[in-house]
Structure 1
Amino acid sequence: MQSLQLSRPHAIMMVGIPGSGKSYFAQRFAETFRAPFIDSLVLEQQSRDDAAAGTLIGYVLGELAKTGTTFIFEGNSDSRVRRTEFAMWARAHGYTPLFIWVQTDATTSLDRTLKARSLTKEAFAEALKGFSAPHTSEKPIVISGKHTYASQAKVVLKRLSEHNRPAAAPIASARPAAADSRRSITVRS
């Protein structure tokens, strides 16, 4: 598949509770369209502490921003404040921010998380408690974490194509403007 050719690059942030399918979709979408995917968990695992991880993530995103390439980012999307910071950063670097919210019920997400051994049941409950769903003003693309990748990608591509359409030219007036005011008709009651 070709890389995404958009009129303006997008900074795509994955949103959802642990085990919802964010990573699965992001990895597949990145592979399909040859877009960079930055998974903050991978960078955090390679860092000695949270501060070093934050510095490393900032550095990687800063270098990526120089390319002007659409990319996918997963991490720190649990609160509206973090998503707002990401959107402001993206706009400041010439990107259109885009949030993809992967929705999956808590029971399924917990089962996936426990099976992957990525969190304990208690840590999952804490993450669920701290999650703030996107507000409509954030204009997230909502996909189901239980649907196939093909149907998820179709929803995302539809929105991206809407963002990528050139502005329509204004429609010409059906009636030419009156050149002479003596020809206008005034109705009086």
Structure 2
Amino acid sequence: MEGNKSKLRAVLVFGAPGSGKTTFAEKFAKKFNLAYYNLEEIREEYGFSHEAVLSILEIITKAKQSIVVEGELKTEKERTEVRNILRNHGYRPALVWVQTDFTTIRMRLKSKYRTVKKAKEIYDAAVAELETPADFERPIILSGKHTFETQTKHVVAGLAKTR
């Protein structure tokens, strides 16, 4: 996947908190020796605006290496902005939507945040902003409960179909 400059890929990973998107994105990037960027973490850590994060993405594209991107992808508008930047710099973006049932998400968030109240607050706030992909976005849909190997096979097969 990496190295061929004419086939720069950008795997865009999104889903609800606790769905398994970060685990998948980090492992996928490591397996294929791709750079991984969590744009939401960058925004939160440095107090950047969404527009500043998009400017950082522009800088990232100058490295001309295939990447895995997570964060700043909750809405169709955000995903379109990110895809347009990537396409303008020669990337072929593919959207990966990680889905997991609510019971599993609740358990994962409760474990992470140690209280049901905090887990519920985080989940409710994130899901209120999260928009289902439009048909034109053609997401590769993953179960956050499948093994990484199964998820990888599914994404690689989906990437082979995208142009």
TM-score tier (shorter) = 0.7 to 0.9
- Superposed displacement of residue 63, structure 1: 2.6
Between Structure 1 and Structure 2, how many residues are aligned? 160
- Identical columns (%): 31
Judge conservation of contact 1:4–1:33 (CA < 8 Å) in 2: no
1:112 to 94, 101, 108: 108
1:113-152 matches, within 5 Å, as: 113-117=109-113, 120-152=119-151
Q: Pick which of 120-129 and 25-34 moved more.
A: 120-129
More strand by share: 2
1:15-54 matches, within 5 Å, as: 15-47=14-46, 49-51=47-49
What is the SS of the residue equivalent to 2:24?
helix
Q: Normalized against structure 1, the TM-score is what?
A: 0.75
More helix by share: 2
- Superposed displacement of residue 46, structure 1: 2.9
Matched, 1:81 2:80: no
Tell me the residue number matched to 1:160: 159
Higher radius of gyration, 1 or 2? 1
Judge conservation of contact 1:4–1:34 (CA < 8 Å) in 2: no
- Superposed displacement of residue 120, structure 1: 3.4
Over aligned residue pairs, what C-alpha RMSD do you find? 2.3
Q: Normalized against structure 2, the TM-score is what?
A: 0.86
Judge conservation of contact 1:12–1:73 (CA < 8 Å) in 2: yes
Q: Gaps spanning 5+ residues in structure 1: where?
A: 165-189
Tell me the residue number matched to 1:91: 87
